[in-house]
Structure 1
Amino acid sequence: MRALSVCFLLLFFGQSTLLFGQENDDPRTDLPRDTIQVVDTLMTTVNQGDFSSVELSTTTKDSVVFALKDDPMASRMDSLWLSELSNNDLYQELYTTVTDLDYKPVEYEELPTEVLKERLEAIDAKTPFNVEYNPQLESVIKYYLKNRRRSMGRLMARANYYFPMFEEALNRHEIPLELKYLAIVESALDPTAKSRVGATGLWQFMFTTGKIYDLDVSSYVDERSDPLMATEAACKYLKTLYNSFEDWDLALAAYNSGPGNVSKAIRRSGGYTNYWNIRGNLPRETAGYLPSFLATMYLFEYAEEHGFKPTEESTSYIATDTVKVKQLITLEQVSRYTNVPVEQLQFLNPSYFLGIIPVVKDEDYVLRLPIQAIGPFVANEDAIYGLATEEIAQREKPLPEFVAQDAKIRYRVRSGDYLGKIANKYGVRVSQIRRWNNLRSDNLRVGQRLTIYPRNPGRARTSSAATTTTNSQGAKVYTVKQGDSLWSIAQKFPGVSVENIKSWNDISGTALKPGMKLKVSKG
């Protein structure tokens, strides 16, 4: 049985190698490194007859769900990087920089003015934007070089994922590929970023503008945060603005402040149409918009010369794929059934801001997964949906009810509260509370009101003390229940992480069974 199951998985990856590259000596050369590692591991398993690294669980429908121990994607993307994917402090940092530029001269000996002029001239030769030297642009570039070294590494890591997606859409719409840098100025490449006035997503669409370009917002989904849909909408909007102003600099200004403000700035300046000549008549944020865009373009174009490197190796966009969802399912359930970390699923599927993928008539909602998880998911989707249905049926209330408008609560912050404590109380994630309340940090103040959509409306999560015992070594022991995952168990015990539970119980996979005993303290 196990040999047949492993052979099935090998067949899937074998077909993938043929799909991605048939003419190489090793047909797997074009596959992601993680996929190759999985295939190599399974080949060794088959050749040696040792199946200890593969766990199989058979459902009531006799379908097989795979759970690979020490998942290569999970081991590569450590907890710090997973946390970074949902962290929006970088967006706040960049937003503040754009609005507070003062253009004072900045000393930066590593970049002489003459060298900068030559480089800007080289950029100008290959882009339709007006990349001409002036002292104010020099000030912004050198300020970024001095103060953005850490943030540049983080931006480059995110860009490795998003830029191929942007470039494909921009090329298809026949507009400059350099517009990919606009998303950095707009959102710091954070698909969940939300401005003070409500603009949301990678391309910062307002609610009404998003509606114009078919970006829907519902209780489940905010399509302004969907990378593909928002990028398509941004391309259409930018193309419309360029057709109006026939100048890409002005089109960018109009994207930020609206075409009406740009038209008024042209009139107030006496009819000038060069961005730098009308900048004094634009809103303060828009006045710093194009300099920030051009400075960002310079930093990326000459990243190697200035020693910039990605801080982490990020997921490659081409190493992911989508599958249409056939039944309501949560990202937490997908994580449990595919062994893909829930934080990574949130990063790949940011438009599902409640962590729930619905099934709605006339809507085709999809789940994006690492490519090595697509095959096992599709092959076992009947079993996966069956498990999800059973779990939902056993919950206190139907899943749709706890995203309804009347299911939300207003929580008043008390002395001693912190986000982790509140999240644990209501069975939600810290990242969700931040997103629901547009929080830019984890700092709370006594009396502050928070909007929360509890996992179980009408009651907070029961105390974890009632579900634990203490063993002879003094460690707390938790009994696994139907529907539990390592992540959900860790959330029940403040200060306990998934890695803690794995270490204390000497386990490497994520598969759990009801009745299993797990240490939830060191003892």
Structure 2
Amino acid sequence: MLLIKKNLVLLCTLFVIFALSGCTSSSIFLIKDQPGITPNIKAGKSVNANDEDVDKKKTEKSADIKQEVKSRNIDVAANQNIFDEIKENFRLPSLSSKRVNRQVKVFTRNPQYLNRMFGRSKKYLHFIYSEVKARKLPSELALLPFVESAYNPHATSRANAAGLWQFIPATGRRYDLEQTWWSDERRTVIDSTLAALDYLEYLHKLKGGDWFHALASYNWGERSVRKAIERNKRARKKTNYSSLRMPRETRNYVPKLLAMREIVNNPSKYRIQIPTIPNTPYFKSFLIDNSLDVTLISKLAEIETDEFLALNANVLRPVVNKKYTKDILLPYDNYEIFKSNLRQYQKTQKNLVGWAPLKLEKSSTLRDIAEKYDNNAVTLAKANGIRSVKAKLLKGSSIIVAMNDKNASFKIEKFRKARLKFLYPDHMFYKVKKGDTLSHIADKYRVSVRKLKSLNNLRGSLIKVGQRLRIRNSDYGDTKNTHRVRKGESLYQIAKRYRTTVDELKRLNKLASDTIVSGSKLIIKN
């Protein structure tokens, strides 16, 4: 009898142990397979950092964190459309439906434009939304680059705002986004996103938790919004976003964002096809130890140069200079390919850099320099930020030239920027001064007012102090490669006709939007 009792106790004990182990394994399984869990890890620079030179250990640690953020939960969310999760976390309040619907019509009137924006966002949306989610911010903020830059990191406004988040130079420097001849960090995906979200969080707190006031401040400026609020208070008027007197761009800013939210929420209602964007990292950060040619990186990563520049829009020259750029972004699937190919290439002891500085010993035209060093004149002009291939440079000018030099890497890292001394002033642009009129500028440079309006897409004669006006056409390549806009034509139609892209046309012509004026002249792809 005693033996039976002991056996019963033993069996009960074993049963309890197995039951508990079963529960434990079930819990682990559930946690592992739970979709959409992203660790709250922030990568990149601290907004309050004062030191310009980051030591190597800190840089390596930062790059490791960036890679860790981008490499989590890849298999878990592989089949999930990121827009599904974004929609679940919309939190911004509503606004007048009339104002929002007006902007919805503007967007849906041009489905090709929407498709291009959604197509560009595939590369960046996962990272941006991950950061928005990690900070527990409204998911609508992940849609803000649609409004700011049409999700184009190469976008530049007339006010010289640049990148996905359209930082002006001063605000960029305020948030440690360095701007040099070699690199413009306002155009980086990671650093600019972290800076933009830091700025938005600051504005949200500054404006007492009012997201609409914060967004208006992001677009118009903190002081401008504060003055508008104070003006309404003095007049005993309401101070909410809709009641403030603001420029048209700022009045439409929040409605545009909410219009994008409406389109993402109800695409079928507007006959819009929202693409499926996997909720997985698109890119991975690679810490560079050497300066590298952009063309070489693209070749070793087995990607197109355009794909590399879309992820690394901060790179302004044909060389990634390690002194000014610490890491590069590569498509996730090509990361290991690049590492392996780079390792093999370094064993050959071939040059990693095919460009070197050149100081002119005598005055010469850019075309003569290009011919002497077997360079393409257009490529040479772009590499040095020279707008005309007809430019004549004085003795003592310093530029970079494509050449085979064993010490190219060492020389290029010591080269700060091109020093251009033109033999004849290359007047292509004019900065408007106080008291200037279009007629005065036209007389000064012997062009017609009509020509100035056409070159600068101006509808009227109004110009602002500090505005840059194009005085004559760029001479990149053949001057026959221009197109005069006809009534009813769009950038998309012109791009299709000349077998180029809308983005390329906007880049060549410094257009901030897809709007073009009938009669204006556009430079097309060479």
Shift of 1:273: 2.5
- 1:322 touches 1:366 (CA, 8 Å); kept in 2? yes
- Give the match for residue 99 of structure 2: 136
1:188, 1:304 → 2: CA distance?
A: 21
Distance 1:304 1:285 in 2: 28
Aligned to 2:224: 261
CA RMSD of aligned residues (A): 4.2
Q: Sort the Cα spacing of 1:413 and 1:285 in 2 relative to 1 into closer, same or farther, 3 A.
A: closer
1:418 aligns with 2:481: yes
Alpha carbons of 1:408 and 1:221: their partners in 2 closer, same or farther (altered >3 Å)?
Answer: farther
Amino acid at match of 1:289: Y
1:344-382 Cα shifts (integer Å, max 9, x gaps): 11112111122421111xx66222222332223223424
AA in 2 matched with 1:288:
N
Is 1:273 aligned to residue 236 of structure 2? no
* Cα distance change, pair 416–390 in 1 and its aligned pair in 2 (3 A): closer
Q: CA deviation at 1:442?
A: 13
Classify the secondary structure of the residue corresponding to 2:146: helix
The residue that corresponds to 2:332 in the other structure is 371
> Which residue number in structure 1 is paired with residue 213 of structure 2?
250
Structure 1 stretches of 5 or more lacking a match? 1-22, 24-122, 421-428, 451-490, 495-523
Letter in 1 for 2:403: R
Code of the aligned partner of 1:138: N
**Contact (CA 8 Å) 2:87, 2:264: kept in 1 or not?**
no
Amino acid at match of 1:378: K
Query: Where does residue 139 of structure 2 map in the other structure?
Result: 177
Aligned CA distance change for structure 1 residues 310 and 403 (closer, same or farther; 3 Å): farther
Q: Which digits, 9 at most, give the CA deviation of each residue in 1:176-227, with x for residues without a partner?
A: 1111121111110011111101111111101110111110011111000001
What is aligned with 2:157?
A: 195
Picking from 291, 312, 317, the partner of 1:349 is 312
Q: Please name the residue that 1:163 is paired with.
A: 125
1:395 aligns with 2:403: yes
Q: CA deviation at 1:431?
A: 8.1
Report the Cα distance in structure 2 between the residues aligned to 1:340 and 1:379, rounded to whole angstroms. 14
Q: What code does the residue aligned with 1:371 have?
A: Y
Q: 2:497 aligns to what?
A: none
CA apart distance, 1:133? 4.2
Moved more, 224-233 or 375-384: 375-384
**Cα drift, residue 407 of structure 1:** 5.2
Cα gap change, 1:203 to 1:315, in 2 (>3 Å): same
- The question of whether the paired residues in 2 share the 8 Å contact of 1:156 and 1:309 is answered with no
Which amino acid in structure 1 is aligned with residue 481 of structure 2? Y
Matched residue of 2:286: which SS? Answer: strand
Residue of structure 2 in register with 1:331 after alignment: 294
How far is the alpha carbon of 1:435 from its aligned partner? 4.8
Name the counterpart of 1:30.
Answer: none
CA contact (8 A) 1:161 1:317 kept: no
Change (3 A) 1:290 1:389: closer
Tell me: higher relative CO, structure 1 or 2? Use CA pairs within 8 A at least 6 residues apart. Answer: 1
Q: Retained in 2: the 8 A contact 1:321–1:370?
A: yes
Once residues 145 and 110 of structure 2 are traced to their aligned partners in structure 1, the CA distance between those partners, rounded to angstroms, is 17
Structure 1 residues 371-425: Cα deviation after superposition (integer angstroms, max 9, x where no partner): 33222322342443433337458816747399832259758646834389xxxxx
Contact 2:187-2:313 at 8 Å conserved across structures = yes
Report if aligned partners of 1:187, 1:203 keep a CA contact under 8 Å in 2: yes
Q: How many residues align?
A: 318
Query: What secondary structure sits across from 1:406 in the alignment?
Result: coil
Ranges in structure 2 where 5+ consecutive residues have no aligned partner: 1-28, 30-85, 357-401, 429-472, 484-500
Q: Report the Cα distance in structure 2 between the residues aligned to 1:253 and 1:347, rounded to whole angstroms.
A: 28
Task: Give 1:236 deviation, angstroms.
Answer: 0.5
Which letter does structure 2 place at the counterpart of 1:274?
N
Task: Assess if the C-alpha contact under 8 Å between 1:346 and 1:355 holds in 2.
Answer: no
Higher helix share: 1
Identity %: 24
Q: 1:193 to 1:390 in 2, by over 3 A?
A: closer
Q: Distance in 1 between matches of 2:137 and 2:99?
A: 27
Q: Distance between the aligned counterparts of 1:433 and 1:308, measured in 2? A: 25
What is the identity, as a one-letter code, of the residue corresponding to 1:375?
Answer: E
Deviation (angstroms), 1:164: 1.4
Q: Do 2:149 and 2:166's aligned partners in 1 also have CA atoms closer than 8 Å?
A: yes
